[in-house]
Amino acid sequence: MKDRVSKEIITAMKAKDKVRLNVLRYLKKLFIENDTSKKPVDEMEIVIGYAKKVKDSLAMYPEGSDQRAEIEAEVVILSEYLPEQLSEDDVKSLITEIIGGLESPNMGAVMKELSPKIKGKFDGKQASGLVVAALKG
Domains and CATH numbers, the chain: 2-79 (1.10.1510), 88-136 (1.10.10)
What is the distance between the alpha carbons of residues 126 and 137, in angstroms, rounded to a whole number? 17
Question: For a pLDDT cut of 70, what percent of the chain falls above it?
Answer: 100
Amino acid residing at 43: E
- Please provide the distance, in angstroms rounded to a whole number, between the alpha carbons at the two ends of the chain: 42
What Cα–Cα distance (Å) separates residue 137 from each residue in 5, 69, 114, 127, 130? Answer: 45, 39, 18, 15, 10
Query: pTM of the entire structure?
Result: 0.75
* pLDDT score of 93: 93
What average pLDDT does the structure give for the chain?
Answer: 91
